[in-house]
Amino acid sequence: MTDIALVTGASAGFGIAIVERLIADGYKVVGAARRFEKLQELAKRLGEDFYPLEMDVTDRSSVDKALASLPTSFEPISLLVNNAGLALGLDKAYEADFEDWLTMIETNVIGLAYVTRKLLPDMVKRNHGLIVNLGSTAGTVPYPGANVYGSTKAFVKQFSLNLRADLAGTRIRVSNIEPGLCEGTEFSNVRFKGDDERAEKLYEGAHAIQAKDIAETVSWIASQPEHVNINRIEIMPTSQTFGAQPVYRDL
């Protein structure tokens, strides 16, 4: 029996790369996103093993309706990839737009948690399933301007670990992938609200990791035997590393 995967945020970046890789691995894949026209374009290219699903993870009624509409040929879901997420702005906390904070929390925290809660009971009932969450190095390493974004990714990290604690005694696996600097996605264009020049400068000469690197990581996690759980993987390009903590002095 072919396993079925559901990938959120499937209309761009990591999502497209993950969908393509999982189909190549033999999965049937439900690609969920708000931009249904993008999913339809993807469906034309990927064929019958891909099912486009219009879904907004920040809207619980949208999630309920979308999941209830799945055809039996794309059920049950055995692999959930919680990829939908975003960052908005790099402003200091005392200058940030609170609406941006709310959007990040609603997407990265509430949306991810709700989709998980909807699909997890069936996985437990069947005693079979894998959840792969997309976190970030920002959930561990603080940096100026990452205030709420980094906090949402810290939630994803801890939520993933606590799911594992709740699922003790089952065969349900949970992993968290934590990428660092990654290019070839819409992430920074969204963060900088369409300022493509600013986004391009961020990656200039950085040799950042690519969406396909994340897709390959999802594939590797999913390929592990059922008795192996990969708790978390932190991935950075070799050009990115850690530095000394700054000290500001009154002289």
Amino acid at position 55, single letter: M
Phi, psi of 161 (to 5 degrees): -65, -40
Q: Which sign does the torsion angle of CA 15, 19, 22, 28 carry?
A: positive
CA dist 189 and 184 (Å) reads 10
Identify the CA nearest to 102 among candidates 64, 152, 155, 137. 152
Please identify which residue in the block is written with the tokens 């190095």.
Answer: 137
> Which residues are CB-neighbours of 229 under 8 A, at least 6 positions away?
164, 173, 174, 175
Q: Give catalytic status of residue 114 as yes or no.
A: no
Per DSSP, 246 falls in state: P
Q: Got the DSSP string for 125-185?
A: HHT-EEEEEE--GGGTS--TT-HHHHHHHHHHHHHHHHHHHHTTTSSEEEEEEEE-SEESS
> Which residues are CB-neighbours of 202 under 8 A, at least 6 positions away?
181, 188
- CA 78 to chain centroid: 17
- Residue in 94, 143, 149, 203 annotated catalytic: 149
> For residue 84, how many other CB atoms are within 10 A of its CB?
25
> For residue 243, how many other CB atoms are within 10 A of its CB?
6
Active site residues: 149
